[in-house]
Amino acid sequence: MLNLRLLVLVQGLFLSKLALLMLIPVVAGWYFDDHSSFDFLLATAATATIGGLLAAVARFRPAPLNASMRPRDMFLLTTLIWLVMALAASLPLVLVEHISLTDAFFETISGLTTTGSTVLSDLSNHPPAILLWRSLLQWAGGIGFIVMGVGILPYLNVGGMKLYQTESSDWSDKQVPHLKHYTRLLFTAYSLLTLACAVCYLLAGMSWFDAINHALTTLSTGGYSTSDQSMAAFPPACHWVGSLFMFIGGIPLLIFVQSLRRKSWRPWHDEQVFGYAKLVLASTLALTLFLVLSQQQHWLDALRLALFNTISVITTTGFALTDYSAWGHFAMMLFFILTFCGGCSGSTAGGIKIFRLQVAWRIMIRHLKRQIHPHGTFVSRFNQRVLNDEIVTSVLTLLFLFVFTIVVLALALALMGLDTMTALTGAVTAVCNVGPGLGDTIGPAGNFASLPDLAKWALGVGMLAGRLEITTMVILLLPKFWK
Amino acid sequence: MLNLRLLVLVQGLFLSKLALLMLIPVVAGWYFDDHSSFDFLLATAATATIGGLLAAVARFRPAPLNASMRPRDMFLLTTLIWLVMALAASLPLVLVEHISLTDAFFETISGLTTTGSTVLSDLSNHPPAILLWRSLLQWAGGIGFIVMGVGILPYLNVGGMKLYQTESSDWSDKQVPHLKHYTRLLFTAYSLLTLACAVCYLLAGMSWFDAINHALTTLSTGGYSTSDQSMAAFPPACHWVGSLFMFIGGIPLLIFVQSLRRKSWRPWHDEQVFGYAKLVLASTLALTLFLVLSQQQHWLDALRLALFNTISVITTTGFALTDYSAWGHFAMMLFFILTFCGGCSGSTAGGIKIFRLQVAWRIMIRHLKRQIHPHGTFVSRFNQRVLNDEIVTSVLTLLFLFVFTIVVLALALALMGLDTMTALTGAVTAVCNVGPGLGDTIGPAGNFASLPDLAKWALGVGMLAGRLEITTMVILLLPKFWK
Ligand SMILES: [K+]
Ligand SMILES: [K+]
């Protein structure tokens, strides 16, 4: 049986935290005098009330609350919490911007999942408090996903994440204080890195408001901007800063925490980070060479553009800098493929994640060797752990579901009348949590406002599925889950 | 150590068989008086001589020939034989058509792998003997692939094909007479079906020359035609015949043989055939409905077009009938996705093959159930066989390699200057053994003649990789293979 009381309690507690977060734009609205404070305050009050009520109801019954959770509870909890948060967090957008619930929900889920697709245009004419709220959504969604990825998904063996599990294989009550401790450390590291990023942006020439907003959306690899021109609106120094901190955003945050505790910095001990760095380096060099040779660009400009766009694509941040469709077919194809790779697991990046590709690669090599010598014994490892059959099945499931979800979503979007390019890249950009698609409608120069309502909901579900490593959400569709 | 003597002997024997096949266009050239007979005879003589020499060299040494083969021998043999056959079979094209070796090799490997991409245009102006030779290449390649898929690949556990292995797990000398027996039966069934198809085409209104050619390329799901308009050049009755025999071409041929021996017809006992039929039915119905509702077509016309195109795409035949890009984005997307599915394993169809998708699906469902109840026991079966970890790894390897090969090929083609659409659909159409791509250059209305030479070789390798279920060829790239 599902532990519904605990589910309700956790939703209530999270809603209260969300209400606290809403106080920031209340202050910002008052400071900038953009007439949004009252609406934000209204949303805060509503969220706090509902959150408090849910928590009270869950705690009310005389029987003591059973705090134990089984996998089924955890699957339902993780999916539900993102939906409930997204619904509550759309309130300010509805109240301040007077947009439909569809648009508000799309913008919010796109923010919380750090996707960064937007229905808003002419960004500089919107109230600063709204721009800050969008950035905050990405920042909060980013740390939420990291905590989920470190603390919960490994126990559920989602997409081979058991490889990143530190303790025993079962979830027990002991994990809760442990998780709380880690959450505090992760939150601190995330905040410090964000602060460092904001200071660097400020020094590189952004206004302090732009610096804060972009720091929030860079570390979370979210990609929301305060300008319609995205990163192109800022001087080159900002692009180097952005490249550095997007790259950091694609590294597992836990590595920073562990380094602080051990007082030694050795990220290369995670083979995933090594693979990630190699991929970024190789793609950047290839593209720089390509730009210098075929477009006669100065090598420093070429390096800056290649580095920024490569990292923006691999980490699925989705900041736009130049219209790289003018770079020709090789660059387009390379970026399209890199989108699927994503950054490291345990970071805010979307996509398949580097370590799954590494694991699939090693399983493949092992299988090929076995085919050559059927009676030989071949073992493959990742981070010193043996890749056992549970991991293999888990990775296969995720890869299969990943492709399947994109295919179904693309077909559904095409059926809703979207053209092939928009339907296909829209599905990819949603499920990989990238942000912009390709083509005239949803490309870097466009936005998602003109899509039919149904398509916006479908894309929203796709973003959430991508953020939840798909498995976590799809499992709820099995009849077995509810029995 | 590799058994090189046996390798050389088998190449020699196959070359002699190929020389026999070349006698057919010699006769055709003489009958049609198209001045190609002498060139074909020259090619026959050259092929027979080389084949005879190789066989003689292999048999010459005093030591008795060791007839045993280990997996390494079989991997090398299967890849090598396709390459050697393609090279020898391009001879007539070079001699008769005076085209470059690149073009001739592209056309031949495209024929033998039953891909059906062509560099020739204005087909009706070519010597009839050449048209017949192209059709024969597809027909021979088709039965060659079926025999390989039934007799060799299951023992090498290529992409989960162990599921279709009937005897013990090791290859032994006993298998050879067994394989020879089955080859005779398969060849007979294939020939009878081809004859039936030719008769039906004749009755449906084709000339007897067109009927023979299209029968050869329909049963082999190859897709070469005698007309630039492909199937659109023939009356509607021919489309129904084509649909039926393409569908049959996508069913494992062994099922017909087993039915003849058992004198009972029960193809549904193979779950793969059941899945294949369901997929064809569902897609046809969806498309018919779509055409009737959105294009106001008569239901019978709509059914004919939907059925023919669906089967042509799923079986990767690649016959063109109408420009379905005018059917809108939903149809385009659906066809693009169906291309990857392919027909049944054990047939001449390319692509991933239905049973691998079914296996991946079941493994996924089993894994999701295990995630819900970590301590439960869940077993999944396919055709009554338990899906063990060896099958899982094998299927994962194939799916991963399949995507990886397409990605690498598409990137390589883009680097050679092909536009994104041509590079991507060219890679897909080659690796899935379909034939035509999308877009102006290599779409159903175009051909591959204008591509750079390097791209033609790359596509040729892609076709061969696809035909050899990729694993068989990629394994040769491992250093371990040669140690
Ligand atoms: K993003
Ligand atoms: K074909």
Model confidence at B204, pLDDT cuts 50, 70, 90, reads very high
pLDDT of A268 reads 67
User: Which residues 6+ apart lie within 8 Å of B62 measured at CB?
Assistant: none
User: What is the mean predicted confidence (pLDDT) over A375-404?
Assistant: 85
CA of B438 to the centre of ligand 2 (A): 14
Q: State the average pLDDT for chain B.
A: 87
- With 90 as the cut, is the pLDDT of residue A245 above it? yes
CA distance A114 to A218: 10
pLDDT in tens, B383-440: 878 888 888 888 888 998 999 999 999 999 998 988 888 898 899 999 999 888 887 7
| A410: nearest CB among B333, B395, B410 | B333
pLDDT of A160 reads 77
CA distance A25 to A291: 42
Q: Given CA atoms B104, B107, B111, B112 in this order, what sign does their dihedral have? A: positive
User: What is the mean predicted confidence (pLDDT) over B181-200?
Assistant: 91
- With 60 as the cut, is the pLDDT of residue B373 above it? yes
User: What is the mean predicted confidence (pLDDT) over A106-126?
Assistant: 89
Task: Looking at the complex, report in whole angstroms how far the Cα of residue B216 sits from the nearest Cα belonging to chain A.
Answer: 34
DSSP letter, residue B228 = T
Give Cα separations from A142 to A191, A350, A375 (angstroms). 11, 10, 47
CA distance B319 to B246: 10
A248 touches A254 (CB < 8 A): no
Range in A59-68, A448-457, B229-238, B440-449 the model is least confident about: A59-68
CA of B425 to the centre of ligand 2 (A): 14
CA distance A6 to A81: 12
In terms of Cα–Cα distance, which of A465, A419, A466, A467 is closest to A443?
A419
Q: Say if B365 is an interface residue toward chain A (CB within 8 Å).
A: yes
Range in A403-407, B305-309, B320-324 the model is least confident about: B320-324
Structure tokens at B29: 């050239």
CA of B309 to the centre of ligand 2 (A): 13
- With 60 as the cut, is the pLDDT of residue B168 above it? no
CA of B435 to the centre of ligand 2 (A): 5
What count of other Cβ atoms lies within 10 Å of the Cβ of residue B359?
25
- Assign B450 to helix, strand or coil: coil
Percent of chain A's residues with pLDDT above 90 = 41
In terms of Cα–Cα distance, which of B445, B449, B460, B450 is closest to B227?
B445
CA distance A345 to A355: 7
- With 90 as the cut, is the pLDDT of residue B176 above it? no
| A371: nearest CB among B156, B333, B424 | B156
Place of tokens 């569902």: B282
CA distance A230 to A206: 13
Q: Is B222 assigned to a binding site?
A: yes
| B71: nearest CB among A371, A399, A419 | A371
A103 touches A453 (CB < 8 A): no
pLDDT of A381 reads 84
User: Which residues 6+ apart lie within 8 Å of A208 measured at CB?
Assistant: A198, A202
- Assign B386 to helix, strand or coil: strand
Q: Describe chain A by its helix, strand, coil percentages, rounded to 5.
A: 70, 0, 30
CA of A38 to the centre of ligand 1 (A): 30
Q: Say if A417 is an interface residue toward chain B (CB within 8 Å).
A: yes
pLDDT of B263 reads 67
CA distance A132 to B361: 43
Q: What is the ipTM of this complex?
A: 0.87
Q: Given CA atoms B24, B28, B31, B34 in this order, what sign does their dihedral have? A: negative
pLDDT in tens, A257-316: 887 777 666 666 788 899 999 999 999 999 999 889 887 888 898 999 999 999 999 999
Set of chain B residues whose Cβ sits within 8 Å of the Cβ of A401 = 364
pLDDT of B191 reads 94
Q: State the average pLDDT for chain A.
A: 87
Task: Looking at the complex, report in whole angstroms how far the Cα of residue A259 sits from the nearest Cα belonging to chain B.
Answer: 32
| B397: nearest CB among A158, A367, A393 | A367
User: Which residues 6+ apart lie within 8 Å of B175 measured at CB?
Assistant: B151, B155, B167
Model confidence at B268, pLDDT cuts 50, 70, 90, reads low
Q: Quote the Cα angle for A428-A397-A362, to 5°.
A: 95
Range in A274-283, A459-468, B14-23, B67-76 the model is least confident about: B67-76
Residue with the bigger pLDDT between B47 and A175: it is B47
Task: Provide the total of helices (H) and of strands (E) in chain B, helices listed first.
Answer: 19, 2
| B415: nearest CB among A330, A361, A471 | A330
User: Which residues 6+ apart lie within 8 Å of B469 measured at CB?
Assistant: B153, B158, B159, B161, B398
pLDDT of B170 reads 55
The bound ligand whose nearest atom lies closest to the alpha carbon of A220 is 1
pLDDT in tens, B269-297: 788 899 999 999 999 999 999 889 887 88
Percent of chain B's residues with pLDDT above 90 = 41
Q: Is A222 assigned to a binding site?
A: yes
Structure tokens at B318: 């690649």
Model confidence at A172, pLDDT cuts 50, 70, 90, reads low
Task: Looking at the complex, report in whole angstroms how far the Cα of residue B52 sits from the nearest Cα belonging to chain A.
Answer: 31
pLDDT in tens, B116-155: 888 888 888 888 999 999 999 999 999 999 988 887 887 7
Do the Cβ atoms of B364 and A401 come within 8 Å? yes
- With 70 as the cut, is the pLDDT of residue B172 above it? no
| DSSP of B112-171 | HTT----S--SGGGS-HHHHHHHHHHHHHHHHHHHHHHHHTHHHHTGGGGGGG--S-SS-
pLDDT of A265 reads 67
Set of chain B residues whose Cβ sits within 8 Å of the Cβ of A329 = 414, 417-420, 423
Q: Say if A481 is an interface residue toward chain B (CB within 8 Å).
A: yes
What count of other Cβ atoms lies within 10 Å of the Cβ of residue A300?
10
Q: Could you list which residues have their CB under 5 Å from ion ligand 2?
A: B 116, 223, 316, 318, 435
CA of B269 to the centre of ligand 2 (A): 27
Q: Is A359 assigned to a binding site?
A: no
User: What is the mean predicted confidence (pLDDT) over B445-450?
Assistant: 84
Q: Say if A367 is an interface residue toward chain B (CB within 8 Å).
A: yes
CA distance B20 to B26: 10
CA distance A399 to A469: 10
- Assign B130 to helix, strand or coil: helix
Overall residue count recorded for chain A in this entry? 483
CA distance A61 to A74: 22
CA distance B120 to A3: 68
User: What is the mean predicted confidence (pLDDT) over B315-341?
Assistant: 84
pLDDT of A140 reads 94
- With 90 as the cut, is the pLDDT of residue A142 above it? yes
Place of tokens 């553009």: A305
Kind and range of the H or E run holding A382: strand A381-382
Task: Looking at the complex, report in whole angstroms how far the Cα of residue B421 sits from the nearest Cα belonging to chain A.
Answer: 9
Question: Chain A, 61-120: which have a CB under 8 Å from a chain B CB?
Answer: 71-72, 75
| B414: nearest CB among A330, A363, A394 | A330
Range in A228-237, A263-272, B319-328 the model is least confident about: A263-272
- Burial classification of residue A398, based on how many CB atoms lie within 10 Å of its CB (0-12 exposed, 13-18 middle, 19 or more buried): buried
Place of tokens 């190449």: B11
Q: Is B377 assigned to a binding site?
A: no
Place of tokens 């299209």: B214
CA distance B142 to A276: 43
Place of tokens 């202050």: A27
CA distance A432 to A469: 10
Give Cα separations from A283 to A247, A279, A428, B310, B330 (angstroms). 13, 6, 20, 39, 34
pLDDT of A166 reads 62
Set of chain A residues whose Cβ sits within 8 Å of the Cβ of B399 = 396, 399-400
CA distance B234 to A452: 42
